[in-house]
Amino acid sequence: MAFQKGDRFKVVGGVQSNIERGREGKFATVLKSYGNNKFDVLFDDGDIVNGWLHEGDMQTAGKYPLEIGFRVRNKTDKSEWIITKITCQYEFWGKCVKASSEYAIDEEGGCNRLNDYEIISNNTIMNKLSIMMKKLLDKDTQTLVKAGFINGDLDLTGAGQHALNTVLFIEKKAELVKLAEEVLAEAEKDK
């Protein structure tokens, strides 16, 4: 199996080599490919191994299409999820970012099979918008879609709601403090 830069894989066993055992079950991403099955790899725990030899140093199982932080859409109910944990090549845990009749925003879901979902990206959302729609949307709105703050339906996502709350808190903190002081003053009067 030939790996290229960006491919993910899972180590399923160690082989007598110059790399210590204990990496079984860990995921890694190829940083650089030198050809001849030699790679620099980054493990999800932050370790970097330079000059890793495929099969010579470790046995691997397949290329892994999923990464934490990927967005996926349920093919049936169109709910959208951000992957929070990868359990195996095609199974993951996620956090709902676009609700459906079955799922609420921020609901946690586990052991989802990738074949029931499609991987989406913010660029995928922009590509699905028609040329006319792109002309109608201003640059700011396009930026919000690309950043994942609003979805293809132009509704706020969970990440968008969090960002908006943060911005409002920063910009309106003085007004919020004034309101809090008024509430406390009213409470003092009522005593």
pLDDT, position 18? 43
Classify residue 180: in a domain, yes or no.
yes
- CATH code for position 38: 2.30.30
Q: Are residues 190 and 149 located together in one domain of the fold?
A: yes
What are the strands, taking DSSP E only, across 15-103?
27-35, 38-43, 48-53, 58-63, 71-74, 80-88, 91-98
Q: Are residues 132 and 185 located together in one domain of the fold?
A: yes
**Residue where a domain stops, chosen among 44, 63, 82:** 63
Q: Are residues 85 and 41 located together in one domain of the fold?
A: no
Rounded distance between C-alpha atoms, residue 26 and residue 58, angstroms = 11
Residue 74 token pair: 């349920």
Give residue-wise pLDDT tens across range 73-127: 888 888 888 888 776 656 778 888 888 888 888 888 877 777 777 777 555 555 5
Q: Are residues 189 and 126 located together in one domain of the fold?
A: yes
Residue 124 DSSP class:
H
Classify residue 1: in a domain, yes or no.
no
Give residue-wise pLDDT tens across range 28-49: 778 888 877 788 887 777 778 8
pLDDT, position 134? 65
The structure's pTM equals 0.35
Query: What range does the domain containing 56 cover?
Result: 8-63
What is the number of domains present in the chain?
Answer: 3
Q: Show Cβ contacts of residue 132 under 8 Å, excluding neighbours closer than 6 positions.
A: none
Classify residue 92: in a domain, yes or no.
yes
Q: Are residues 152 and 191 located together in one domain of the fold?
A: yes
Classify residue 165: in a domain, yes or no.
yes
Q: Are residues 179 and 156 located together in one domain of the fold?
A: yes
Asked if 86 and 95 count as a contact pair (C-beta separation under 8 A), the reply is no
Residue 57 DSSP class:
T
Rounded distance between C-alpha atoms, residue 188 and residue 155, angstroms = 41
Classify residue 37: in a domain, yes or no.
yes
Give residue-wise pLDDT tens across range 138-190: 888 878 877 778 876 677 887 888 888 888 888 888 998 999 999 999 989 88
Classify residue 3: in a domain, yes or no.
no
